């Protein structure tokens, strides 16, 4: 794996191989094109209309919307509940707090987020399902709607190799925007350090759940944030506001760790109340083990609303 995301994205083949034997499924009922694999909440012929999509060879002519053809001179078909594939939206926080330089020999938080997103994208494409990507900093820097196929995967991987964004970030606001465009009953994985107002984050997660989105938040840490290993007068800088302060680490360590623990508790609680899956990862974690255990637990708890 490369030391910096800006130099391109490389994913350990062992990680991809480990995940290839696991099928990503929603914890809740989802639409399923491959009904033998993905359960759906509708049965019989009276399915719910969802959206339009361009006509593909083999589609039934009775599903063509002739009114749209008259306006656009192109064929579109009506997609119903039983016909929609499973869609995964990957949301990567690309704000400045994710771009802090890593410790020597470790991945930065943003690079770690991109590796996870890339591995999940590979996994979903292997399943013949659809995956999309949203790079979110101060603005939504890039947005790829869920699609299938190797060419689409290549676009996603190129974006993850040099993710646009930066700035102070406004994750909660952008989550609401993405939720409004994501439709309903899709899956969403959010890769972020979650250094947001927890009340606003919780509100955004609840809105996503109200739209029947199956959300998982993967909180990413630099191990130094968790251990606070500093032992001499140090300058601490907020990467997003630019505020700087000098402090003796032994004088502030206890209060810092206490505040961090409280913030971690509030983020976990926000996820629980929104029925969102939640996992913490840092730059020393075994990604293969953590991701595979999390994905397997989704299968075990499927339909229970637990992560």
Over pLDDT 90: what percentage of the chain? Answer: 47
- Structural domain count, the chain: 2
Cα-based distances in Å from 128 to 122, 142, 183: 10, 23, 19
Beta strands 187-192 and 244-247: pairing type? unpaired
pLDDT tens string 202-213: 999 999 999 889
The contacts found for 70-76 with CB under 8 angstroms, 24 or more apart, are: 76/52
- Shared domain for 79 and 200, answered yes or no, is no
- Shared domain for 65 and 147, answered yes or no, is no
- Segment 283-292 shows an average pLDDT of 89
Position of tokens 């039983």? 82
- Shared domain for 72 and 198, answered yes or no, is no
pLDDT tens string 15-35: 888 888 787 777 775 443 334
CA separation for the pair 117, 281 (Å, rounded): 13
Specify the DSSP class assigned to residue 275. Answer: T
For CA atoms 72, 76, 81, 87, give the dihedral sign.
negative
Give 180: exposed, middle or buried? Use CB within 10 Å, 0-12, 13-18, 19+.
exposed
The answer to whether residue 198 is domain-embedded is yes
Would you place residue 3 in the very low, low, confident or very high pLDDT band (cuts 50, 70, 90)? very low
Reply yes or no on whether the pLDDT at 7 is more than 70: no
**Whole-number pLDDT of residue 265:** 97
The answer to whether residue 307 is domain-embedded is no
**Whole-number pLDDT of residue 80:** 56
Q: What contacts 298, CB < 8 A, 6 or more positions away? A: 24, 25, 26, 27, 277, 307
The answer to whether residue 172 is domain-embedded is yes
pTM given for the model: 0.78
- Shared domain for 194 and 242, answered yes or no, is yes
- Segment 120-147 shows an average pLDDT of 92
Q: Hey, is 131 helix, strand or coil? A: strand
- Shared domain for 177 and 133, answered yes or no, is yes
């Amino acid at each position: 794996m490369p030391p910096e995301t800006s130099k391109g994205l490389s994913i350990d083949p062992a990680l991809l191989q480990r995940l290839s034997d696991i099928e990503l499924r929603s914890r809740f009922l989802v639409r399923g094109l491959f009904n033998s694999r993905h359960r759906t909440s509708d049965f019989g012929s009276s399915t719910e209309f969802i959206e339009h999509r361009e006509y593909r060879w083999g589609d039934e002519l009775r599903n063509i919307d002739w009114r749209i053809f008259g306006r656009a001179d192109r064929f579109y078909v009506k997609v119903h509940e039983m016909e929609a594939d499973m869609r995964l939206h990957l949301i990567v926080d690309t704000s400045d707090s994710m771009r802090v330089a890593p410790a020597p020999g470790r991945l930065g938080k943003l690079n770690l987020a991109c590796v996870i997103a890339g591995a999940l994208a590979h996994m979903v494409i292997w399943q013949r399902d659809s995956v999309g990507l949203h790079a979110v900093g101060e603005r939504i820097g890039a947005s790829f709607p869920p699609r299938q196929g190797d060419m689409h995967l290549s676009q996603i991987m190129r974006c993850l190799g040099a993710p646009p964004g930066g700035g102070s970030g406004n994750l909660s606001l952008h989550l609401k925007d993405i939720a409004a465009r994501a439709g309903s009953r899709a899956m969403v994985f959010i890769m972020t350090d979650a250094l947001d107002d927890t009340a606003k984050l919780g509100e955004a997660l609840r809105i996503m759940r109200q739209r029947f989105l199956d959300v998982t938040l993967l909180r990413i840490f630099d191990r130094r944030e968790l251990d606070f290993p500093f032992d001499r007068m140090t300058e601490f800088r907020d990467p997003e506001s630019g505020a700087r302060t000098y402090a003796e680490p032994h004088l502030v360590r206890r209060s810092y760790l206490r505040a961090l623990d409280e913030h971690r508790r509030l983020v976990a609680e926000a996820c629980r109340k929104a029925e969102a899956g939640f996992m913490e990862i840092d730059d020393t974690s075994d990604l293969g083990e953590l991701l595979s255990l999390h994905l397997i637990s989704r299968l075990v708890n499927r339909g229970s609303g637990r992560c």
